[in-house]
Amino acid sequence: MKVKSLSLLSLLLCLQLATGCSQEKSSSTATSGKSLTIGVSMLSMQNEFIVNVADEMQKKADAAGVELIVVDAERSPLKQVEQVESFIAQNVDAIILNPCEVEASSPAVQKALAAKIPIINVNSATSTKPTAFVGSDDVESGRMAMKYLAEKLGGKGNIVMMQGYMGQAAQLQREQAAKEVLRQYPGLKMLATQTAEWDRSKAMSLMENWIQSYGNQISAVFAHNDEMGMGAVKALTAAGLKDKVLVVSIDAIPDALQSVQKGELNATLFQNAEQQGAQAIETAMKAAGGKQFQSEVMIPFKLVTQANVKEFLK
């Protein structure tokens, strides 16, 4: 009987504590006012650069007390549109979209705008203009990469180009810019272009195929991102050709920076994932709160070679 009395007393004490905690939380919520909820649809969480952007958004949101709902579109524009429809149904305050494709992801932007929810595109564009865009100029990156190769080759040689996902803004704009630069150097020839879908292992296989097809004719590789650049370096090294072939890629992920430091990858272009993530959250918060914001935030690329790589290594 004594044991039962003690158990009952313990239960009552727990209930009182639980009620107290609940009252404290309700009081805290009431005094802090309405907090923002932002839905985020990312292109693919299998890509290191995209993960870095998402991580920075989460840090910024946590610091600001903003609830972030992050989902992975797994490279599917259709899934991305459905995710945005879900955000609209949840009545989020703003949406951040990292588009899978220029055209096929545009309905997601249209639906958010029709629901009068601000939508901020980060890192990549859609044909439908969003409320705001935060990213970097992919035309600039393609131009910088190809100029680097043209100058290193003295305006003569054969180049192969690895593309990202077909139809995505970065793939379209980097390819367009690279071809524009090539036209300025008649001694340079594009031997082949093909997608390796931003993927290291696919890039390695593609490079192996190109080595088999063109052998010593290849002077340089322009890979649209570091994952593919690292795959090209691995295949060229295995074939004993790396010392004869230049490789430049984009993003400056840690692996690529270390490769540049070792003299394997010749150059990469630093794309600021932290700034893209942080600025996307700040813009979304301002738009949702009815404050003034920049409709376009462009963060410049920087060329990274062995000469300055230490500035970028953390």
Residues 289 and 284: their CA atoms lie apart, in Å, by 8
pLDDT digits (tens, 9 = 90+) for 183-227: 999 999 999 999 999 999 999 999 999 999 999 999 999 999 999
pLDDT digits (tens, 9 = 90+) for 134-167: 999 999 999 999 999 999 999 999 999 999 989 8
The answer on pLDDT for 24 being more than 90 is no
Q: Is the dihedral of CA 153, 309, 44, 284 positive or negative?
A: negative
Position 234 confidence tier, pLDDT thresholds 50, 70, 90: very high
- Beta-strand pair 302-304/296-298: unpaired
Which pair of tokens denotes residue 149?
Answer: 């190769």
Which pair of tokens denotes residue 215?
Answer: 């052998």
Residues 313 and 258: their CA atoms lie apart, in Å, by 8
Q: Please report the pLDDT score of residue 17 as a whole number.
A: 39
The predicted model gives 274-293 an average pLDDT of: 97
Position 4 confidence tier, pLDDT thresholds 50, 70, 90: very low
Q: Packing angle between helix 273-288 and helix 48-64, nearest 10 degrees?
A: 40
The predicted model gives 253-266 an average pLDDT of: 96
DSSP result, 108-132: HHHHHHHTT--EEEESS--SS--SE
pTM comes to 0.80
Give per-residue burial for 121-138: e unless 16+ CB within 10 Å, then b: bbbbbbebebbbbbbbeb
Identity of the amino acid at 155: G
Residue 129 φ/ψ, nearest 5 degrees? -70, 125
User: In this structure, are residues 139 and 179 in contact, taking their beta carbons and an 8 Å threshold?
Assistant: no
Q: Please report the pLDDT score of residue 211 as a whole number.
A: 98
Position 33 confidence tier, pLDDT thresholds 50, 70, 90: very low
